[in-house]
Structure 1
Amino acid sequence: MDTRGGEFPQQDTDFGTAVEFVYRMTAADFEEALRARARRSAAGRLQALTAPVVGAVSVSVFSVLQDATLLVWGISLVLTVPLMFWATGRGLRTMARRLFSIMDSYGQCRMVADERGAVTTGEHASFSMDWTVFPEYLETPGLFVLLGGDRATGVAVLPKRGAQGPADVDRLRAILDRNLKRL
């Protein structure tokens, strides 16, 4: 993928150069990405907290309607809220496995990113995206996770292990910093 033409400032030698990652996705990559999204983005936190809050409210309303004692209400609440957090975690794991089952057919992927966006080519499919598709990103120890914003559920996962060297991770981080908002 070529870059936009023109002169770039001398002090930033990476500006305008493409970076390449080669990787094969794993279910663990998607689970790490979804957990990071649940912790660090507003949409992810909302999704992660919905079930426990609904569970707590449901138990409270049911306890009031049934004239349950304070002890019964308290025990029900103590049992329900952790169960809902556990169910939310299991739901993230299930979602990660489903996303992986879709991406697994891509096989080994080659992603090339520059100032315009990224092009990913797999063994059986390819796609390209402009940076405007994912206005935000976050970074975990093993991944770059591109997020579709608060109103979109789009998530793109770029494993750092696909970099040709440590400098490529830094170059991709610089490209993302210039084009996306870091969470």
Structure 2
Amino acid sequence: MDIRGGESSHRGTERGATAEFVHRPTVADFEEALRARARRTPAGRAQALMAPLLAAIAVGVFSALHDTAPPVLIVSLVLSVAVASWGTVRGLRTMARRMFSVVEPYGQFRTVADERGAVSNGERMSYTVDWAVFREYLETPGLSVLLGGDRAAGVAVLPKRGAQSAADVDRLRAILDRNLKRL
């Protein structure tokens, strides 16, 4: 993989094929990635369900200790779970804005992926990442989302709208299938 241009010398072969994307990240990309992670990974589901579950437990324990009337208990449970769920959604949006704020100064990216990893060249920075950094990936209608391992909270977002041709999305999917676990 040539880090200067991101091109592979094996462009025509199946295993040596590359996929090229040119994109400018958006907050919506990160929101979509975090929502997909919350739905499809055990860690994401635990993170999304923790606050509502703790709120329900706290109201239940408090109500049991203070001998609360059933209608008050039910209203309290509904309100506490609703507020905790709203807080979880707001938390995901805040996290997406923070993730975006890290990459936004770098402008538009050109990312080229091949069997060894991906090279991204931004307007103000460049980096290379090997597939070993990630353990699994998932797809949404608009994104390919790369996820780090159990102890790594790494999330990389590659918008499909940046594909230079329709075949690039399929080539990227084939590359990812050979190198990462699909969720």
Residue of structure 1 equivalent to 2:71 = 71
Give the Cα separation in 2 of the matches to 1:70 and 1:152.
43
CA deviations on 1:136-164 (whole Å, 9 max, x unpaired) are: 00000000000013332110000001111
Which ranges of structure 2 fall in alignment gaps of 5 or more residues? 3-7
Distance 2:34 2:59 in 1: 28
Specify the SS of the correspondent of 2:15.
Answer: coil
Q: In the alignment, which residue of structure 2 is the partner of 1:178?
A: 178
CA distance in 2, matches of 1:4, 1:122: 22
Match of 1:138 in 2: 138
1:138-177 equivalences in 2 (<5 Å): 138-177=138-177
Q: How many Å separate the matches in 1 of 2:146 and 2:112?
A: 15
Preserved CA contact (<8 Å) 1:145 1:155: yes
- Report what 1:8 is aligned to: none
Name segments (4+ residues, structure 1) moved above 6 Å. none
Same amino acid, percent of matched pairs: 67
Pairs aligned (count): 177
Map of 1:99-114 to 2, 5 A cutoff?
99-114=99-114
Deviations 1:22-45 (A, max 9, x none): 100000000000000000111110
Give, in whole Å, the separation in 2 of the partners of 1:127 and 1:45. 30
Q: CA deviation at 1:78?
A: 1.1
Secondary structure of the corresponding residue to residue 25 of structure 1: coil
Determine the C-alpha separation between the residues in 1 that align with 2:39 and 2:133. Answer: 21
The alpha carbon displacement at 1:4 in A equals 8.8
1:58 to 2:55 alignment: no
Name the CA distance, whole Å, in 1 between partners of 2:33 and 2:95.
Answer: 11
Matched to 2:129, the amino acid is: M
The amino acid of 2:128's aligned partner reads: S
TM-score (ref. length: structure 2) = 0.92
Q: Distance in 2 between matches of 1:16 and 1:41?
A: 30
Match of 1:17 in 2: 17
Match of 1:121, SS state, is strand
Give deviations 1:39-73, integer Å, cap 9, x for gaps. Answer: 01111101100110111111111112222122211
Q: How does 1:28-39 map to 2 (within 5 A)?
A: 28-39=28-39
Gaps of 5+ in 1: 6-11
Shift of 1:14: 2.1
> What do residues 110-146 of structure 1 show as CA deviations (whole Å, max 9, x unaligned)?
1111111111111112221111111100000000000
Give the SS at the match of 1:168. helix
Deviations along 1:89-110, one digit per CA (max 9) or x if unpaired, are 1111111111111110110001
Q: Which letter maps to 2:58? A: S
8 Å Cα contact 1:42/1:150 also seen in 2: no
Q: TM-score, normalised by structure 1?
A: 0.92
RMSD: 1.6
